[in-house]
Amino acid sequence: MTENEKLLYLARLDKAAESFGLPKNDQAWAKLLDYLALLQKWNKTYNLTAIRDVDEMFIKHILDSLSVALHIDSERLIDVGTGGGLPGIPLAILFPERQIDLLDSNSKKTRFLVQAKAELGLQNVEVIHHRVEAYHPETLYDGVVSRAFASLDDMLGWTHHLLKPQGYWWAMKAQKTQDEVAQLPNFAKMSQVFELHVPSLDAERTLIKIEKCQET
């Protein structure tokens, strides 16, 4: 990426952040572009994402991840099925005071994540190479976020054991389906639905917030 391209992307980050209600953060923006460059470089051999075009990566990965930042308030968060680190790494860059762990069962992807953590200096991140059902943390999480699950039912069922009571699931979806929202399991309660607007992305994006009920 040339210096002129960097300046253009920094300006686009400023504009997108304003639309999301996020404060200007030059240090975070620079680190996000470093992450984008790493993602593009490693994607050539590690197949981290099906997207190859850097501008499309910027919109569908970086801006899409930033679009949920204002809404997600969990202090200790795990990104399940994180792949190349989305949305976990952008959130960890934006919120260095929060613990944001990244879980994936694909060894190539976790190798990339370990490298990205080191190069970006993300001390608030732990990379976990595990199948989700086999990972049992000593301390349960305040929040579980994911873009990886096709259905809410799968997300809640597979990650139920990671979340503390009254913690929240944050499901990033292409669209909300009324059937899914209406048929939550008895340990989950709908909390809020956020309609997201990602600059330059002509597609529906939704963040669904679901509370884990206190079990008796």
Kindly state the tokens that stand for 10: 């920094």
Least confident stretch, 88-102, 105-119, 121-135, 176-190:
176-190
> According to CATH, what is the number of the domain 3-212?
3.40.50.150
Tens digit of each residue's pLDDT (9 = 90 or more) over 198-214: 999 998 899 999 999 97
Give the Cα separation of 143 and 68 in Å (integer).
13
The answer, yes or no, to whether residue 176 has pLDDT greater than 80, is no
* pLDDT value for 21: 97
**Residue 63: how many CB atoms within 10 A of its CB?**
24
Binned at pLDDT 50, 70 and 90, residue 140 comes out as very high
Kindly state the tokens that stand for 157: 């069922």
Among 1, 2, 5, residue whose Cα is nearest residue 41: 1
Give the Cα separation of 112 and 191 in Å (integer).
34
What phi, psi does 65 have (nearest 5°)? -65, -40
Tens digit of each residue's pLDDT (9 = 90 or more) over 27-41: 999 999 999 999 999
* pLDDT value for 102: 98
Kindly state the tokens that stand for 146: 């994911």
* pLDDT value for 207: 95
* pLDDT value for 170: 98
Q: Are strands 141-146 and 188-196 parallel, antiparallel or unpaired?
A: unpaired
The answer, yes or no, to whether residue 215 has pLDDT greater than 70, is no
DSSP the chain: --HHHHHHHHHHHHHHHHHHTPPP-HHHHHHHHHHHHHHHHHHHHH---S---HHHHIIIIIIHHHTTTTT---SEEEEET-TTTTTHHHHHHH-TTSEEEEEES-HHHHHHHHHHHHHHT-TT--EEES-GGG---SS-EEEEEES--S-HHHHHHHHGGGEEEEEEEEEEESS--HHHHHT--TTEEEEEEEEE--TT--S-EEEEEEEEPPP-
* pLDDT value for 204: 86
